[in-house]
Structure 1
Amino acid sequence: MGRAEILRLPGERELAAAAERLRGQVRRTPVLELDGAELGVPARVLVKLELLQHTGSFKARGALNTLLLRPPAGDGVVAASGGNHGAAVAWAAARVAVPARVFVPATSPPVKAARVASYGAEVVVVDGYYPEAFAAAERWAAGRSVVRVHAYDAPEVVAGQATLGLEIAEQVPEVSTVLVSCGGGGLYAGTGLALAGRAAVVPVEPERCPSLSAAVAAGGPVPVEVGGVAADSMGAGLVGRHGYAVAAPSRTTPLLVPDEAIVAARRFLWERCRVLAEPGGATAFAALLSGAFTPVAGETVVVVVSGGNTTDVPT
């Protein structure tokens, strides 16, 4: 907990600078209003379609903000990723014309590794989950002139993800609650910082990837076992210090949803909205659809659909 207490989170100036830096570089993704009655809730509900972002997820924001702020040289860029962050780093590296090497766990879907390679990065597949890929990336980077782009626990990455929250504030100024999927905590931290004092930001985790829940219970980040349908994008294994530092002061309790609820959320988004979200991208929506989150009558809720890197159509 002491490490979280001395951590300096990005402030308003850094968030505003990130927004200006990324203006015209990333997509301003749309919001879609749903029928609250169809969802069985007495609230106004909108979904932020961040799966329409470059590379198919919110990760493009943090990756590009990092490389624009810290231009790479020498050996270029390295990252570890379950897939979405790797694609974002590969895309951002191509934008600034530097080489990228991405370490991907063997548990990631092949479509995600292929997407990373499609942006020109060298892909290295590592046995295991994200923690094993991260360790391999760190070993490779040691002694090299390379920019490491962390998947979720770096101030430049968090500030980049915060631009999503700033967009929500502009698009839905009356928003009262925002639901976000939480794996390593970068999106939650950025959105929470961007909307501090304006809206409640509620992190949602798969039951089988409870990194922030475990940290809140333990008083600091602790390793957890990960698995389940969303592990490729949500299986950080250890929540980031930034995500924990945003949650700790308010004693935020993340919402946990089972795999069955995530699958049902994907099916609803596809069948009713023709939105093809990946499991991690639908995790926040699962909290609303399953009743894990119950909105107050009359409030305005925005749910972030954070990624859509999948070819698996729900049936």
Structure 2
Amino acid sequence: MAPSTQLTYEDVKQAGERIAGRVRPATVAPAAGLPTGGLWYALEFMQHTGSFKARGAYNFLAAHRESGTLPEAGVTIASGGNAGLACAWAARGQGVRATVFLPRTAPTVKVARLRSYGAQVQLVGEQYADALAACQDFAARTGALASHAYDHPLIAAGAGTVVEEVLARVPGLDTIVVSVGGGGLFAGVATAARQHGLRTVAVEPEHCRAFGAALVKGEPVDVTVDSVAADALGARRVTPLALAAAGAGHTEAVLVTDAEIVKARQLLWDEGRLAVEHAAATALAAIASGRYAPSDGEKVAVVLCGANTDPTDLVLPA
């Protein structure tokens, strides 16, 4: 089952049909603690496995099940943590083995949860690219089905299903804001958003800017990664699907600092007792810092993408 190099709205619709009843429908809540009106949070950290990636992982395996291409060797994936969790969860649901490769820098909370899903965990290297190389070698040697944290149309299409669900809960939405690492969430969201005439705001840490660099060069390029959110947003290279989606729709790209990410994460805890990972706070940081300023009357949804984090560094009020 060879992956397509294109992502269409029809792909997102088919993904929605595959995952219906298998994932948790998006929960949407009005934002608090910010002067901006018309701001909503899409609470995807409440999704199975603690992040939006359950959508793409289930779509990926269900599509392969439909086509009869799930091998006995199971599925394998390289991940900073969240995609591995989603893959292991989806594999357990499909009754297949999952082998997950992570960098040694992956948070221990993610490693422990992976093992709780029955996955075989391999810790390799210091960055995602190291884990990816080991995963590719494993797939070649064993015949395991190679999934990907973000660079596959089935993964991206599954992520894009969140748009329809948010729209159903926030009629008249104008803009959807997402964090960007490798670009799977952005590609899916931007593809679905374009169908409905929505703007997509893509937010990256200033030192994890694979998407921004690709926009400048006109093609995916390797970048260095160094951010408090690098465990989830630390891809060296963005998927071509994201670049294509950016060119086809109304997209704005925003960079935020680590300090702004940390502040936004603390804001979510202070104002809503929402304990999310830094990657989720990255999207909000664009608005909280003023780097993206919604216009008067603009309805904005911020996707809070994951909560697989250690909450002990959140500051309790004195």
The reply to whether TM is greater than 0.5 is: yes
TM-score (norm 2): 0.93
Structure 2, unpaired ranges of 5+: none
Q: Distance in 2 between matches of 1:169 and 1:251?
A: 17
Q: 1:77 aligns with which of 75, 78, 82?
A: 75
Q: Distance in 1 between matches of 2:7 and 2:220?
A: 19
Post-superposition CA distance 1:154-174 (Å, at most 9, x none): 111111111111211212121
Q: 1:158 aligns with which of 156, 159, 162?
A: 156
| Conserved? CA contact 2:229–2:279, under 8 Å | yes
Matched, 1:21 2:18: yes
SS in structure 2 of the partner of residue 204 of structure 1 = strand
SS in structure 1 of the partner of residue 142 of structure 2 = coil
Aligned to 1:224: 223
Q: Distance in 1 between matches of 2:230 and 2:211?
A: 14
| Conserved? CA contact 2:284–2:302, under 8 Å | yes
- What is the Cα deviation at residue 145 of structure 1? 2.3
Aligned to 2:119: 121
Aligned to 1:312: 311
1:227-306 matches, cutoff 5 A: 227-249=226-248, 252-306=251-305
| Conserved? CA contact 1:204–1:254, under 8 Å | yes
- What is the Cα deviation at residue 281 of structure 1? 1.2
Residue type of the alignment partner of 1:281:
A
Matched, 1:57 2:14: no
- What is the Cα deviation at residue 107 of structure 1? 1.3
- What is the Cα deviation at residue 39 of structure 1? 1.1
Residue type of the alignment partner of 1:233:
A
Matched, 1:40 2:39: no
Q: Distance in 1 between matches of 2:280 and 2:14?
A: 27
Matched, 1:67 2:66: no
Post-superposition CA distance 1:121-179 (Å, at most 9, x none): 00000111111100110011114322111111111111111111121121212110110
Post-superposition CA distance 1:9-53 (Å, at most 9, x none): 232322211111111000012111124xx4122x31000000000
SS in structure 2 of the partner of residue 195 of structure 1 = helix
Q: Distance in 2 between matches of 1:76 and 1:130?
A: 21
Post-superposition CA distance 1:268-302 (Å, at most 9, x none): 10110011110001110011101111000111110
Structure 1, unpaired ranges of 5+: 1-6
The alignment-based identity, stated in percent, is 43
Residue type of the alignment partner of 1:80:
A
| Conserved? CA contact 2:12–2:161, under 8 Å | yes
Residue type of the alignment partner of 2:15:
A
- What is the Cα deviation at residue 250 of structure 1? 5.0
- What is the Cα deviation at residue 252 of structure 1? 4.1
| Conserved? CA contact 1:216–1:253, under 8 Å | no
SS in structure 1 of the partner of residue 311 of structure 2 = coil
Seen in structure 2, the aligned counterparts of structure 1 residues 298 and 27 have a Cα distance that, compared at 3 Å, is same
| Conserved? CA contact 1:209–1:234, under 8 Å | yes
Seen in structure 2, the aligned counterparts of structure 1 residues 113 and 232 have a Cα distance that, compared at 3 Å, is same
1:158-197 matches, cutoff 5 A: 158-196=156-194, 197=196
Residue type of the alignment partner of 1:295:
P
Q: Distance in 2 between matches of 1:252 and 1:177?
A: 10
| Conserved? CA contact 1:14–1:159, under 8 Å | yes
Matched, 1:135 2:149: no
Deviates more, 1:83-92 or 1:104-113: 104-113
Q: Distance in 2 between matches of 1:9 and 1:140?
A: 27
| Conserved? CA contact 2:224–2:236, under 8 Å | yes
TM-score (norm 1): 0.94
SS in structure 2 of the partner of residue 87 of structure 1 = helix
Residue type of the alignment partner of 1:49:
L
| Conserved? CA contact 1:169–1:175, under 8 Å | yes
> What is the CA RMSD across the aligned residues, in angstroms?
1.3
| Conserved? CA contact 1:204–1:257, under 8 Å | yes
Q: Distance in 2 between matches of 1:11 and 1:217?
A: 24
Aligned to 1:3: none
